Amino acid sequence: MERTLVLIKPDAVHMKVVGNIISKYEEKKLDIAHIKILIPDRNLLENHYEEHREKDFFPKLINFMSGGRVVAMVLEGENVISKVRKINGHTDPNKAEENTIRNLYGTSLTYNAVHGSDSVESANKEISLWFDNI
């Protein structure tokens, strides 16, 4: 069974659309294996977004993500990574397909409501960062 990490970002939590977002995944019969709500610390976020460390947007992204509650979930299902990426939509909400999470709730590249792992390798790494002993 394939697994992926999904983060509902602080902008979406603040907008009070967490239930709507979770419903999008459940409508596609994806299983929530683990879920928690936290305010992530900078160390966790810097490890999670390691590949973006040298990019100009990195400090803003870390400040944003550490500035509020995040819902972290491990979803399971057949081809869950590709399904989640389709449900989430394009990273840029302005380019996201209609009725995707980012189209509905994202407002910019940073404030784009959700994160989903982009590969099996990323999912395994990210899940181990956000969840202990699973």
Q: Spot the catalytic one: 48, 52, 90, 115.
A: 115
State whether residue 122 is helix, strand or coil.
helix
State the DSSP H helix or E strand holding residue 16, giving kind and residue range, or none if neither.
Answer: none
Give the integer Cα–Cα distance in Å for 85 and 6.
Answer: 10
**Annotation marks residue 115 as catalytic:** yes
Give the residue numbers marked as catalytic. Answer: 115
